[in-house]
Structure 1
Amino acid sequence: MSALPSGMPPAAPAAGKKTARTVALPLWMNELALIRLALLCFATALSVGSLLVLVSSWYLNQRGAALARTQQLRNVAYDKFAHVENEKLEIRDYQPQFLALRERGLIGEEKRLEWIDAIRQIQERRKLLPISYEIDAQQPFRLEAQAAMGDYSLRGSRMDLHMDLLHEMDLFDFLHELKQRNYYTMQDCSIKRSATAANGALASTLSADCTLYWLTLATAAPAPAARSRP
């Protein structure tokens, strides 16, 4: 090729061809490659740290819930322990009274034969006139006021009692002594005058008709007893 003469302008590019242009990148883009490793480490550390915070928060919540359940179980166990201790103190305080009530026939199954035997003994010892009675089957006995009885239920056996009397004190002494041996409640009692014997023999001047209920405390409903007569 021959050199262009000096002072001549360069020839224009051929039509239809474009010249390539290069765009200069910002300086910070060139420097980004230098801190890329640090940025990756920072992003990794941030992700791991966030994950650890979430895990720690979840673990703390789990431990808090477990602590609350443990405290609740402890409170329940303490309440049970305190209840048992109170029951032990009540048993120690009331056991003598309980044994005395059971000995007198209030607690447990009714002792109908003992009632009949007590009537016979009092009649013979006080030399009372003949006594007649009928005892019905045992039934639930309701009080006017509600009373806490626990596992026990109050039951009563109705007895219709007839006595011939020489004087009123025969009835009062009989009922008083009968109450010392067993538990009963009087529903009603009436006394009326009767005719004396014409031949002068010992005879009643009064007669009494009473209705009372023998009482027992039982844990289960016993089978009804047959109606008893002397």
Structure 2
Amino acid sequence: MHEFPRPGQADRARLPLPFWVRDFALIRPAVITFIVTAGISFTCVLASHLQLGQARRDEQAAHAQRDAARSRFLYAESEKQEIRAYQPLFVDLRRRRFVGMENRLDWVDAIRRISENRRLLPLAYEIDAQQPYKLESRLATGDYQLRGSRMTLHMDMLHELDLFYFLGDLRQHGVFTVEQCTMRRAASTEAGARPAVLSSDCTLNWLTLTPGPRTGGAAR
């Protein structure tokens, strides 16, 4: 028993296939090649983009390292210039026993020798314990600490210049400040001794720049 096709069914069966379906076998290699090439190209573009970003980050890191190296170089050059400028002063301050640890024995010996050389009348003095010395204005001392020892001095004098000569000679053996100094006529002296015309009472502050705690030095 035969079935007859319905109306229009035969016509639909005879419709030609689209060319891109019918002839796909002809372009299949080209399509595959295109897809592979596109994938490779996309991968290359993506890799290039990532590599470019990494290269820019490396460039920024290199610039940062260059700037840091330049800053260290400039800082080192600045330190060299400061050393060349201040080294003579530093050496002179060390020679004058301002930089370093306190040396009271040198002060005591200097006072004795000055008194003998100047043929001064007997004098009396007392040196207190060393303490941190505070200035009115802030002073940058780096790794060092400014310390002072107060000395009270009493002198009987034949002339007012005895005091100035004594202080002038004493400055060759250290750095100190004169906090105060009073001068008055001396009282009568014992018989047989050289009569003192004047007497003075002074307060001095012996100063030393000693290594601070950061450099391992201990103030005495």
Could you state the TM-score of these two structures normalised by the residue count of structure 2?
0.85
Alpha-carbon displacement from aligned partner over 1:74-126 (angstroms, at most 9, x marks no partner): 22222222322332333233322221110110111112111111111111111
Could you tell me the percent identity over the aligned residues?
A: 45
CA-to-partner distance for each residue in 1:2-59, whole Å, 9 max, x for gaps? xxxxxxxxxx966xx7656425223343133322221221122111111111111111
Q: CA deviation at 1:144?
A: 1.1
Q: Which segments of 5 or more consecutive residues in structure 2 lack a partner in the other structure?
A: none
| 1:222 is the counterpart of 2:211 | no
Match of 1:176 among 168, 176, 193: 168
Task: Output the amino acid matched with 2:115.
Answer: Q
CA distance in 1, matches of 2:97, 2:199: 29
Provide closer, same or farther for how the CA distance between residues 198 and 79 of structure 1 changes in structure 2, counting only shifts above 3 A: closer
Asked whether 1:160 is paired with 2:156, we answer no
Give 3-state SS (helix, strand or coil) of 1:191's partner: strand
Residue 215 (structure 1) shift: 0.8
* Residues 128-174 of structure 1: per-residue CA shift (max 9 Å, x gap): 11111111121111111112222222111111111112232211221
Question: Which residue among 61, 65, 72 is the counterpart of 2:53?
Answer: 61
Aligned position for 2:142: 150
Structure 2 counterparts to residues 31-180 of structure 1, below 5 A: 31-180=23-172
1:137 counterpart SS class: coil
Residue 142 of structure 1: SS of its match in structure 2? coil
Amino acid at match of 1:129: L
* TM-score using structure 1 length: 0.82
Counterpart residue type for residue 63 of structure 2: Q
Distance 1:108 1:198, change over 3 A: closer
Deviates more, 1:27-36 or 1:102-111: 27-36
Alpha-carbon offset, residue 200 of structure 1: 6.7
Contact 2:106–2:173 under 8 Å retained in 1: no
Q: Which moved more, 1:141-150 or 1:105-114?
A: 141-150
Structure 1 residue corresponding to 2:197, chosen from 181, 205, 220: 205
1:209 to 1:222, Cα distance in 2 relative to 1, 3 A: farther
User: Structure 2 vs 1, CA of residues 157 and 23 (structure 1 numbering), >3 Å: closer, same or farther?
Assistant: farther
| Greater than 6 Å deviation, 4+ residue runs | none
How far apart are 1:198 and its partner, in Å?
A: 6.7
CA distance in 2, matches of 1:96, 1:23: 112
Between the aligned partners of 2:207 and 2:166, the Cα distance in structure 1 is: 18
In the alignment of these two chains, the number of paired residues is 211
Question: Match for residue 227 of structure 1?
Answer: none
Distance in 2 (CA, whole Å) between partners of 1:147 and 1:48 is 70
Q: Which runs of 5+ in 1 are unaligned?
A: 1-11, 225-230
From the two aligned structures, give the one with the greater helix fraction.
Answer: 2
